Structure formats: structure tokens, C-alpha cells
Amino acid sequence: MAKHSTVNGFHNHRNSAYSPSPAKKKNLKRRASFADISGDENRSRKSPKKAHGDFVQGQNGMRMKRMKRITSAGSSTMGATGGKMSGKTFSIQEQRNQLPIAKGKEALINELRENDVTVLVGETGSGKTTQVPQYILEAGLTGTGMIAVTQPRKVAATSLATRVATEKNVSVGDLVGYSVRFDEASSSSTKIKYVTDGMLIRELLMDSTLSRYSVIIVDEAHERTLRTDLLLSNLKRIQKERNVASGDSGGKKGKEPASKLNPLKVIIMSATLDAEKFSKFYGNAKILYVQGRQHPVTIYHTATSQPDYVDSALRTFFQIHTDQPPGDILIFLPGQEDIENLEKSIKLYANQLPKDAPGVAVYPMYAALPASQQTSVFSPAPQGMRKCILATNIAETSITIPGIKFVIDTGKCKEKRYISRDAGSGFDTLLTRDITQSSALQRAGRAGREGHGFCFRLYTEDAFKSMPLSAEPEIRRCTLTSSILQLKCLGQDLEELDFMDKPDPDSIGSAFAILYLLGAIDDAKKLTKLGKQMAFFPLEPPLARSLMASVEHGCTKEVIDIVSILSASSKLFYDNSDNRESAAEIRRKFRHGSGDHMTVLNVLRSYEEMCASQSKSGRREWCRSQMLNERCLIEALDIRAQLRNACERQEIDYNVTCGDAEQPVLKSLIRGLVHQSAFLQADGSYKQIMGPSIVKIHPGSSLSDKKVPAIIYDELIYTTNIYARGVSNNGERRKNIGPPSPDGLVPRKEKVLEANGKTILKIKVGQTLNLQYRGDFCPSRHIGLEPPLVLDPPPVCTVDVVDLKKRDTESSNPMTTESQSQCHQHPDLLPLPHLHPDLELQQCTVNPKNSYRKLLRESIKTRGWRANIDHGWTKKLETRRDRGGYLCMFGEQGDRSSPR
């Protein structure tokens, strides 16, 4: 491979076997409690002193030299297996025995037996994920319980279960199974279950101590997904309940179980983990280290930085393809768009290669693709072709893709991030950014699974060194709505949980506001009956709320269809900027005037009609001709079956239909997407109801060429602009609202009160005031809880009046307890904000933005009202200092806009 030092200007800085980065080595030295189960005596002398626990010498330990010998022998004997089952089993067993972790098996088992919590660090490919569960099972550490191995991604969970089932010579779902969202393969004989971390969190709702499991292995913990963090926190709690009589376990085996519950062992694993941090979180748990990897990976860096990483990946690919021996290539790119572009270019240039050159089979791999298409990458390349997989970081951890010898790493990824802008009013979006050192090591680790591998990094070694060691935990950068709801069902408060890293108070405030709007919590932040029902469905809270609303509106059948499509992992309309217009033309017949939600319903209806008369190939052809993603439809039907099942258990009749009427469906959707609404501005753009962002309708939407007064949307994506995707018209809805009357929402006119010669106005204005949420945010006191249902009348019309003189008495509350509860039950209306008796009034000088003022003026004019809104009333805003974010505006008498 010396030749590679010139490829695309690459430097081979490490001609030796792949080794931990300098930063990682430094980390290892800092360890408090350290045991080397590889049994390398030389290393053991260098290891730092243990802080507690014994230093364990692997009984079957191996030395580095010996490992290298085994390594090279192994690389030449392994490969895609085939032939008879017995031969295959033998070869796989041989393969297992050669894994670095196998040499320390005895020592590892002893450590796991001794410790309730263990942090296990081992290089990629050392055998942690596939072997540790099997060792535990073989050693009888599980008792009658099961072993759960968590994975951040579905594809990893399913492919690992398949691999380990093969190693055990059983079918998937038998001794070895998996459970991922909307898919499960397990039975009463399952002892090892690969699960996504999200699924285990869901299991907590049913069984708060996860009593079915004796061992829970949290794999790839370095990714620090939100769910992993929730799990880590809960596992700590569960161990306290299950393992020890009282106090902190300190990661040590409890002597006296507190109850009859079986004790739980927790193992935290990764190749690139800040082991000390995890150890500390679990009371200085034991850290074990597996030295070595089965096959070396040679890493190359570019001599200069490569700003056009797609072009650079293209050139590197063809240099490998034309110069290097057989072996498949895995290219890491940030997202779908880059993958599609590179796929096109590779196919184009591959056609121009000399006739005798091997062909190229390109496979894209990203989360939005259907599961079956994702798993097709595991099949061998067609005869005489080189497989080229273009993947996002979905392929970064845990998985072994047979045949991969070369990895090209662009050094970029997309990261979900909460765009806060103004606190509490942001949204999650995917942003392209540089990867971390952890990711780079994981990506390199995908080569060298079956033999010597090579990784070409499209960035310099200096760039690698300047990357952060690991990513910011998701809990610090994403919305917390779903997690808070799930925790509420467990009787837990996110703010009070013991996390490795505390979540951001602004994100917590925003999540509470949304849950309150959805009716999942009340104004004391208590879980409502409705919230509990919502959490029962494996859906994001907004979609779960829409489903619940459909019961009231008599359209459960239609809403389940729509949310099933929205919950599928791939997109129904699979197009890009090149074919968008032609695709829109072809799909015109499905288009519904109210927007994308009814449009997808039309598609699903047509698909089902067509399915009744068509064969499998006929269906595929129909979808192809309509430019529809059949995988999404198939998955949606599967999800629908599960949602119907869940409905049955909740005693909800999922067959209730509204026929062709769209209003009930839209009403239900609006109820769930209440916080994802925007209204038209004079310049044709849309302004968020909750939040200050200006958004445009995505060009792929059926409403992109329309200007409706208000919209709801499924998601916002952030590119050159902020685009709303999955858009429907919220306008029809407004006509139905009318003046808020019975149900305790007394018409405002009658609520005009005077206090000390002043008319006191309470105005709900949405979050346009840039108010800050705080950790102890109380939604009902928040002026920003304006449901879009009251868009018309526009925001100024939602003026409510509060008698400040009476604010200390119960009657001052514009909503009595009774009326509040009525409101909660009312499908269309939410309680008006009200003054709380213990509210201390403060003044602050937050003014609405000019744009808001302009909007008010226009709104008032439209309704034929008189108002002098530039004067006076915007000047004062009541707020409570420690809470921020409330409340009332005052105006001099006469300032108030009032109906004619």
C-alpha cells in the first residue's frame, strides 16, 4: 500500500497497524480504575495505579506480538463465507476464537461476575458487541433473566442479531432476537436481545425496573444519544432498587438484595469512550480494557484540506478502484443530498471505464431509506463488480459490512441541533458539520473487519487532531418533548433526574410549553389522562395528539393512515431538485387542495385500491410510474397495523371514518401540530406562531405555489432558508372557530374591567416577544401559549382582561378551576393564560418587534376595529423576574383596540 502515499495527495502517517489516537492514549492514562483483560504483561506494567478494585491479569491473556501473529493469519483465512452449514458454523467459530476479546474471556467473565457496573473499552472490531452477550450467557450470569444489548440505530440492532444468531446457529427471534421501533423478532426462548435504546425506554413504561433483564449492555455509549442518557440515568435508579438495600452501589456488587427483584448488571461499552466519565457517574465503576483489534487498518490523511469533499471522494474512489486489488469501498458522507450527487457521478464515470475494468455496484445507505434497502448493502456485490456503499453515519458504529476493505471518510456529518434563535421557540434541524475524533476512529474501524483495511481521510492529520474528542451529548442540543412525556409516565421529572450532563433549561421550558399546548400536561406540569394515552402510542407527541383528536372528530381511520406515513422511516415522495417538477406533474392527481396531509392520504388510498388487483411486480411498477416510494407505503401499512393494535388496547375504534370530508382530519392534525403553525405575511413568507422564524413552504409541497393565510407543517428544514415541509392549510379551520364562548372562555367584551382608572389588558401574543423560558417555567402563566386555532381572530383579538385589583383572590382568575378543566376537555381551545394568585408583578421593558406591531395593526384593520397600537400599550410587560416570560400588557384607557 506504499503506493497510496501518493493517492490524491495522501500521507500515510501510520504505516503501522491502526492504533488509538494520541488523545485517546492520553485518556487511557488518566484512568482511575483500570483492568487490562487482554493480559498483555508489558502493558500492565505501564498501566496507571488503580484507584480501587483489583488489577486483573487475563487468564488467557495475549501479548501484543502474539496478537499480531494471529491477526495476520486470521486476515488471510476470513472472508464471505458460504458452502455447507456445518462448514460455515466451524468457520464462524474459528473466527470467534480469534477475536482479541476471546483471549481475555475468562478474566472478563470474572470481572463481570464481581461488578454490578462495568465500563468496557475495546477497539472497533475487537468483538465486544457480538461476543460479550454470548460469554455472559455461557457463564450463566443471567439467571432466569435476559440480556439486552442497546444500539443507537435500528440497522445495527437487526444486523447484529442476525450475526449472533448465525454464530449460535439458531434462527433470529429464537435464542437471539431484536426489538426496534415497529419491528420485533423475539420469543419466550430469547435470551439475548439487541434493542434500540428507544425501545428499552418504551419498555420502562410497562415495567419501571426492567425486571425481565438480568444484564443490560449499553453499547456505543460514546454517541450519547438522548435515549442513551435517559437509559443510563434510569439504570442507575433501577440498580438502586434491585441491587442494594440502601445507598449508592458504587458499582460494586450488592450483598443484600433490597427486594425479591433479581439484581441487574450494567455494562457500558464503546471503542471511543471517555471511560472515566461513565465510571464516575456510576460511583467509580470498574473500567476494563480489551487491547488489540483483529485486523490492522492503515490510515491515510490528505496533504491539504479538501473543501469540495464530494469531488475529492469521487477522485479517491476511482483511484482505489483502478489501482487497488479487489475489496469493497465504504464512503462516509454527511447526508442524502451528497449521497445522491456522488452516486450519480460514480455511475456516470463508471460507464466510461475501459470494458475490461471491473464494474461498480453503488448502494446508498441513509436513515430515510427503507429498511430493506438499507440491509441490501450486506449482500455480496454481483460477480466481477466492486461494491461501493455511500453512507451517512448510520454505518459508522457497530455494523460489519462484509467485503469492505477501503473506507473513504469525508470528515463531515449531519447533526441534529435545536435551533433556538430565541429561547424556547426553536426547532430541531440537521446541520452539516465536521465529525469528532471518536467518529473518525469508528469510521476507520469499518474497514479491517475481515482482513487488513485501509482508511482514506479527506482531511489533514492536523484537522483530525483539532477535532473535538467526542460530540456534544444530544440531551444538550435536541428537543426534549417526547422524553419529558415518557418520563412523566414513569412518574419522573426530567429536571430532577441524575444525568451525566444536565439538559439546557431553555429546551426544557420549550418542551413543557409544547406538552402543555398538546394537553399532555396541565398547568401544574402534571401528566394528564390524555398525556398518558398519548405516550401509549409509539409516536411523537404531536402525532399522538392528532390521533387522540381524531377520536373526537370521528376520523380515526384517516388520521391513523396519515400518521403512519409520517412515521415511516423513509419519505413517500422521493425526489430531488432535478426531477421535482416532473414528479409533481405525475403526482398531480393525488394532490389535495388543502395540502400535503390529505395528499398523502389520497396516495395511500390509491395504493391500497391498486394493491387489490395487482401482483407484487405490478405494485412496484405502479409506484415507480407514480414516482412514489413503495417502501414507505409498505412500512406505513405495517405501522398502521401496530397503531390499530394499540388503539384496540386503548379501546379506541380505529374504523371510525369521516369519508371524504377533510375538515375533521385537518382539525385533528392541527390539534397535534398546534405549535407547528405559521401565518402569512405581507411579503408572502410565513411567520411561526410559536417562535420568531420566518419560514417558506418547501418547493416539494403541494401548497408551494399557493398563499394560504395560515399553515401547519410537519417539520422545518434549515438550508439557505428555513423551509416548512409537509404543509397543510390551516385557513379553513379559522372559519370554524368563531368567538370563543362557552366552556369558560367568556367573550372578551364582557371581560373589560377597569382598575384605578386604567383598563388592564392581558394579551396573548405568541412568542414573538422573545421571552425567556426558565427551568421552572409554568406554561399557564406564559403569554406564548397561543394555539394557532385562534389565529382568526388574529392575535390582537385574543385580548383578555384581567382585574389586577382582584388578582390576589381566587375570583380574579379569569378562569375558574372548573372552567380550566372544561378547557382541557375542549378539543379546540386551551385555557387562557391567567394570573396566578402568588404572582409578584415586575415590570420589564420588552417590546414587541415592529413586525409584530405591524401585524397587529393589519389584523385590527381587517376586522374593522379601531386601535392606536403605536401608543402606550406595548410599553410595559409584567413579568416575574425569576421565571421570566410572562404576561400582561397594560395600556392607558383608550389605547385598547375594541370592537366597533
Ligand X SMILES: Nc1ncnc2c1ncn2[C@@H]1O[C@H](COP(=O)(O)OP(=O)(O)OP(=O)(O)O)[C@@H](O)[C@H]1O
Would you tell me which residues interact with ligand X (CB under 6 A)? 99, 122, 124-131, 159, 163, 271, 294, 398, 400, 402, 445, 449-450
- Where on the phi/psi map is residue 324: left (φ > 0), alpha (ψ -120 to 50), or beta? beta
- The smaller minimum CB distance to ligand X, of residues 219 and 635, is found at 219
CB of 38 to ligand X, least distance (A): 13
Specify the DSSP class assigned to residue 821. H
The smaller minimum CB distance to ligand X, of residues 128 and 414, is found at: 128
| Shortest separation between residue 129's beta carbon and ligand X, angstroms | 3
Query: Cβ neighbours of residue 179 under 8 Å, at least 6 residues apart?
Result: 157, 185, 186, 193, 194, 195, 196, 199
From the CB of 139, what's the least distance to ligand X, in Å? Answer: 17
Query: Cα–Cα distance between 81 and 72 in angstroms, integer?
Result: 18
Q: Which is nearer to ligand X, 79 or 468 (CB)?
A: 79
Closest CA to 776 of 496, 426, 552, 573: 496
Cβ partners under 8 Å of residue 730, min gap 6: 666, 670, 677, 679, 708, 709, 710, 711, 712, 788, 791
Report in angstroms how near the CB of residue 125 gets to ligand X at its nearest.
3
Nearer to ligand X, 101 or 559 (CB): 101
Nearest distance from C-beta of residue 251 to ligand X, angstroms: 22
Comparing CB distances to ligand X, the nearer of 270 and 556 is 270
Closest CA to 289 of 159, 477, 436, 100: 100
- How many whole angstroms separate alpha carbon 764 and alpha carbon 645? 40
CA distance 414 to 431: 5
Cβ 699 to ligand X shortest distance, Å: 40
Q: Rounded to the nearest whole angstrom, what is the least distance from the CB of residue 81 to ligand X in the complex?
A: 8
Q: Indicate the residue among 405 and 774 with the shorter CB distance to ligand X.
A: 405
Considering the complex, state which of residue 445 and residue 664 has its C-beta at the smaller distance from ligand X: 445
> Which of 400, 729 has the CB closer to ligand X?
400
Shortest approach of ligand X to residue 159 CB, angstroms?
6
CA distance 459 to 9: 10
> How far lies 391's CA from each of 37, 339, 555, 573, in Å?
34, 7, 39, 20
Nearer to ligand X, 62 or 508 (CB): 62
Residue 326's contacts (CB-CB under 8 Å, 6 or more residues apart) are 358, 386, 405
Tell me the closest approach of the beta carbon of residue 398 to ligand X, in angstroms: 4
Q: How far apart are CA 276 and CA 387, in angstroms?
A: 39
**Bridge partners of 117?**
266
Q: Name which of 126 and 569 has its Cβ closer to ligand X.
A: 126
Closer CB to ligand X, residue 400 or residue 528?
Answer: 400
Shortest Cβ 521–ligand X spacing (Å)? 39
**Long-range contact list for 527-533, CB < 8 A, 24+ apart?**
527/485, 527/488, 527/489, 528/824, 530/824, 531/485, 531/488, 531/489, 532/489, 533/650
**Residue 714: which of 894, 562, 831, 555 has the closest Cα?**
562
Cβ proximity to ligand X, 133 vs 787, nearer residue: 133
Least Å distance between CB 471 and ligand X?
A: 16
Q: Which cell is 121 given?
A: 473499552
Of 81 and 642, the one with the shorter C-beta distance to ligand X is 81
273 or 368: CB nearest ligand X: 273
Give φ, ψ of 560 to 5 degrees: -60, -40
Q: Taking the CB of residue 504, how many other CB atoms lie within 10 A of it? A: 18
Instruction: Please give the grid coordinates belonging to residue 863.
Output: 376586522
CA nearest to 229, candidates 281, 153, 182, 265: 281
Tell the smallest beta-carbon distance from residue 442 to ligand X (Å). Answer: 7
Cβ of residue 124: shortest distance to ligand X, in angstroms?
3
Q: Are 180 and 196 in contact (CB under 8 A)?
A: yes
Q: Whole-angstrom distance between the N-terminal and C-terminal Cα of the chain? A: 85
CB-side exposure of 763: number of CA atoms within 13 Å? 29
Supply the minimum distance, in Å, between the C-beta of residue 744 and ligand X: 57
Q: Within a 10 A sphere around the Cβ of 500, how many other Cβ atoms?
A: 19
